[in-house]
DNA sequence: CCAAAGCCCTGATTTCGGTCAATCAGCAAC
DNA sequence: GTTGCTGATTGACCGAAATCAGGGCTTTGG
């Protein structure tokens, strides 16, 4: 149908022409033919904050590109304790290849736009296009690096260092001024205090206290509990206690 | 030379014939031709406990298959705090593709056998053999799953749960009786108390206390500080507080 | 309007695990 | 033998963060 016929830009489906996933995501690996094939099976969806993406019927059997918004991945213990094991920002490829059942839950923490594909279509694409799998490998290696960075944070940092590290990570990912060595930054927190605490392995009370402390120290200002303005990125960085190695790391992430 | 000529087993280099990496590791992805090509460039090395693998000159520019022994990956903060972010058992492919500088250190924690390749040879192999990259993707996804499992442990478990979880993980990986639902197990700890504490984000004193507690409870016995006999795997499992999801997970790991 | 529910902040108290310190066993060097 | 070193264990004490509790603000819905 229309997806296939509207070919003006050297054979790229209209849906994909301005899509971030084609520029910075996995779809960049695909040539126009593959893109057309995949685009035929895709469906764009708007999802509101708080909706489960994996584990409910709709998405368990599909892969998606995250086109906008933020998704959290969580794991839970049987007694209710919860840990956020990943935060994903656009454009990110969602879904766990080669595994039927995942012990991980995914939930939209902001309004989210997805471009979803049937499981089978993506797996065919992976078989057919080495470059596609190559991108996936790169993304997975980056996720692994990030997870290991958080292992250090969870295992060896104090509460205040954890909160500072968290703010830096958010700033890196959703501040409008993308400069990694900026002097100041400003962004909306995608997570509630309780979610931040589940990310950092502390309680929401402790998160609250540490944010208050940072405000008292003049490092940040907060408006409407969600909007954070970092007045001194350098002080925030020093509070996050970055290792020397971490410093080099943050520069070539992304 | 000899590697190329000694072809008796349908073209497989002698070095590789009985190699675990060909059976359960990434080399299984290679056909005889590729295997011969790679084997020409490889060098087997014995490395003793305590030796740095990455960061010193010898290995920074190479990839390796871990054929025997255990390797720890660590990250450090500038003030000396350290966190183990990965433990790798044979047969595992070591090395971080697509990145010149890694902020991670690797060190042999037991005697180790490596089969090392020049960086360029492996990267050529990755380009040429999609199946090779596929295996690498699978391994990386498994590592990511494990890292996320440890995020839960570090962020949300108590000291005793951490130690119990650690023992279970070690048992899974190096117990002779590979049965995942065994009633008992027995193995040598590859890590010192201090290293275990760096793995779990606690102090070595706490590790020691938790181990004595487990001994007092009759869950384990310890000989020579390194050899652990788990008398009741079920009690150990319940002390690790596995989530329901974790249980399904441990079964299809590997 | 008021009520109820979330989310956030703050204070008081408790506790788990960290810190500091002593002791001991094993082992290598002299 | 002694000395010294490293790793493990145990105890006494302390402190950072958890727990418990109260109260404020906003939103939703009667």
Whether the pTM exceeds 0.75: the reply is yes
Mark whether A132 and A191 lie in a shared domain. Answer: no
Residues B224 and B140 placed together within one structural domain of the fold: no
Question: Residue A83: how many CB atoms within 10 A of its CB?
Answer: 25
Chain-chain contact of B103 with A200 (C-beta, under 8 angstroms): no
Q: Rounded distance, CA B126 to CA B132, Å?
A: 6
Contact map slice: B 222-241 vs A, CB within 8 A: 241
| A242 Cβ nearer than 7 Å to chain D strand | no
At B92, is the secondary structure helix, strand, or coil? Answer: strand
- Concatenate the DSSP letters of all residues of B181-231 into one string: T-S-EEEE-SS-HHHHHHHHTS-HHHHHHHHHHHHHTTSEEEETTTEEEES
Average pLDDT estimate for A205-209: 98
pLDDT over threshold 70, residue A248: no
Please tell me the least confidently modeled range out of A10-19, A223-232, A245-254, B75-84.
A245-254
Are A135 and A187 within one domain?
Answer: no
The string of pLDDT tens digits covering residues B99-154 is 656 689 999 999 999 999 998 898 888 888 888 999 999 999 999 999 999 999 99
Same domain, B124 and B174: no
Q: Are residues A182 and A134 in the same domain?
A: no
Is residue B122's beta carbon less than 7 angstroms from any atom in nucleic acid strand C? no
From chain A residues 153-192, the ones with a CB under 8 A of any chain B CB are: 154-157
Nucleotides of D under 7 A from a protein CB: 7-12, 16-21
β-partners of residue B225 are none
Which of B78, B130, B148 is opposite residue A85, by nearest beta carbon? B148
Domain boundary among B137, B152, B167: B152
Show which of A152, A185, A202 is a domain's final residue. A152
As a whole number of angstroms, the distance between CA A115 and CA A92 comes to 11
* pLDDT of A62: 83
Contacts of B141 in chain A (CB under 8 A): 96-99, 140
Q: What average pLDDT does the segment A245-249 reach?
A: 40
Based on the domain organization, do B23 and B121 belong to the same domain?
yes
CA neighbor of B167 nearest in space, from B189, B195, B144, B197 = B189
Tell me the two tokens of residue A172: 């890196």
Q: Which pLDDT band, with edges at 50, 70 and 90, does A34 fall under? A: confident
Q: Is the pLDDT of residue B250 over 60?
A: no
Percentage above 90 pLDDT, chain A: 61
Q: Where are the alpha helices (DSSP H) in A100-192?
A: 119-128, 130-156, 159-174
| CB of B212 nearer than 7 A to strand D | yes
Judge whether A144 is closer than 8 Å to chain B, CB to CB: yes
Q: A100 and A212 share a domain?
A: no
Instruction: Identify whether the C-beta of residue A245 lies closer than 8 Å to the C-beta of residue B75.
Output: yes
Q: Does A248 map to a domain? A: no
Q: In the prediction, which pLDDT does A48 show?
A: 92
The pLDDT of residue A176 is 67
Enclosing domain of residue B44: 14-152
**A246 domain residue, yes or no:** no
From chain A, the residues in CB contact with B244 under 8 A are: 78
Question: What percent of chain B lies above the pLDDT cut of 70?
Answer: 85
In a domain, A6, yes or no: no
Taking each continuous run of H as one helix and of E as one strand, the counts in chain A are 12, 10
Q: What is the pLDDT of residue A252?
A: 35
Give the list of residues 6+ apart from residue A87 with CB closer than 8 angstroms, or none: A70, A71, A72, A73, A109, A169, A173, A190, A191, A199
Domain's final residue, options B133, B152, B171: B152
* Residue A229 φ/ψ, nearest 5 degrees: -115, 120
- The Cα B75–Cα B254 span in angstroms is 25
Asked whether residue A168 carries a pLDDT value surpassing 90, the answer given is yes
- Taking only the tens place, the pLDDT of each residue in B47-102 is 999 998 865 444 556 899 999 999 999 999 999 999 999 999 989 999 887 665 66
Contact A137 B138 (CB under 8 A): no
**Mean pLDDT: which of A43-57, A99-113, B179-193, B236-250 is highest?**
B179-193
> Is nucleic acid strand C under 7 Å from A222's C-beta?
yes
So what's the pLDDT on residue B56?
45
Decide if B228 contacts B177 (C-beta within 8 A): no
Number of structural domains chain A divides into: 2
Instruction: Give A47 CA → C4 C1' in Å.
Output: 27
* pLDDT interval class at A141 (50, 70, 90): very high
Inspect the interface and report whether the beta carbons of B143 and A144 lie closer than 8 Å. Answer: yes
* Closest residue to C25 (CA, C1′): B224
Q: Residue A56 — pLDDT band, cuts 50, 70, 90?
A: very low
């Amino acid at each position: 149908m229309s997806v296939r016929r509207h070919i003006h830009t050297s054979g790229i489906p209209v849906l994909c022409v301005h899509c971030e996933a084609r520029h910075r995501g996995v779809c960049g690996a695909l040539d126009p033919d593959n893109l057309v094939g995949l685009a035929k099976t895709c469906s764009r969806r708007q999802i509101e904050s708080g909706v489960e993406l994996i584990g409910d019927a709709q998405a368990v059997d599909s892969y998606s590109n995250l086109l906008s918004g933020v998704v959290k991945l969580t794991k839970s213990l049987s007694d209710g304790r919860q840990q956020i094991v990943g935060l994903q920002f656009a454009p990110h490829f969602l879904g766990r290849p080669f595994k039927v059942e995942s012990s991980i839950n995914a939930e939209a923490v902001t309004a989210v736009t997805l471009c979803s594909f049937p499981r089978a279509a993506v797996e065919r694409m992976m078989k057919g296009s080495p470059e596609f799998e190559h991108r996936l490998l790169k993304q997975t290696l980056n996720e692994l690096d990030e997870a290991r960075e958080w292992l250090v944070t969870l295992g060896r940092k104090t509460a205040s260092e954890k909160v500072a590290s968290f703010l830096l990570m958010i700033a890196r990912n959703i501040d409008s001024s993308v400069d990694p060595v900026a002097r100041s930054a400003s962004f909306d927190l995608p997570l509630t205090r309780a979610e931040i605490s589940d990310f950092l392995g502390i309680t929401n009370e402790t998160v609250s206290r540490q944010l208050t402390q940072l405000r008292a120290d003049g490092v940040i200002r907060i408006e409407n509990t969600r909007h954070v303005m970092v007045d001194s990125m350098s002080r925030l960085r020093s509070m996050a206690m970055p290792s020397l190695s971490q410093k080099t790391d943050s520069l070539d992430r992304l």
